[in-house]
Structure 1
Amino acid sequence: MSDRPMQVSLLIKDAAADFLNKESNRTSLITVTDAIVSKDFGNAIVFFTVFPDDQQEQALHFARRKRADFKSYLKSHLKLRRIPFVDFKIDDGEKHRQRIDEVLRGV
């Protein structure tokens, strides 16, 4: 990835963390783990984890419901020519890493 998409990804990741922290109802802990922006800056995916695990679907539904508000938040907080369409996804990689750690500790 070249420097500019990486920079924009980091900006969106930080903005998503701030936005979700301010907008969430605090029944679960939402941690933004990554953001990926397409080369043309038209699309972005924000990955996050949720604790406790049984709140994942509710958190994902909440984040996707707030997409328009998040786009407005990005417009007001970032100086980008083009604000990408943002989708939110659960970061399963973190869950898999934790499972591997548990298995390795048990061996």
Structure 2
Amino acid sequence: MTENLSMRQQKIARQIQRDMADIFSKEAASFLQGAMVTVTAVRVSPDFGYAKIYVSVFPFDRSTAVMAVLDKQNWLLRRSLGQRVHNQLKTVPEIQFFLDDSLEYIDNIDQLLREEK
């Protein structure tokens, strides 16, 4: 998929990924209530107007609650992101969060394999 993206899209996506990880660890810690949120990927539209942010949540059973909080706090998170990327982008992209449950899937397979032994 990355071969279809421009070099600038890839750079902006990586920057948003780093910035959102920093926001989650510092500014958003209060409303994440102890859950660990990791930004696993970011996809940016060609016009940089929209960013899909994929996150992994630990512990896994808090995923639904954390995703609800991220949607509710979207404006605050976007504002924080805007303060960080205002030198690179003319406008701050609209952001939407998606759950990346691949780590949970891997953990479930691992547990099933352990039970087989």
TM range (shorter): 0.7 to 0.9
The answer to whether the aligner puts 1:37 opposite 2:44 as a matched pair is yes
Contact 2:60 2:104 in 1 (8 A): no
- Alignment length, in residue pairs? 107
Percent of aligned positions with the same letter in both sequences? 27
Aligned-pair CA distance for 1:4: 0.5
The question of 1:5 aligning with 2:9 is answered yes
- The reply on whether 1:74 has 2:81 as its aligned counterpart is yes
2:21 corresponds to which residue? 17
Match of residue 91 from structure 1: 100
Does the 8 A contact of 1:75 with 1:83 survive in 2?
A: yes
- Inter-partner Cα distance in structure 2 for 1:32 and 1:53: 14
- 1:94 deviation in Å? 3.1
Between the aligned partners of 1:10 and 1:85, the Cα distance in structure 2 is: 16
TM-score (norm 2): 0.78
Which one-letter code corresponds to 1:11 in the other structure? Q
TM-score where L is the length of structure 1? 0.84
User: Where does the alignment leave 5 or more consecutive residues of structure 2 unmatched?
Assistant: none
Superposition RMSD in Å: 2.0
8 Å contact from structure 1 (residues 5, 39) kept in 2: yes
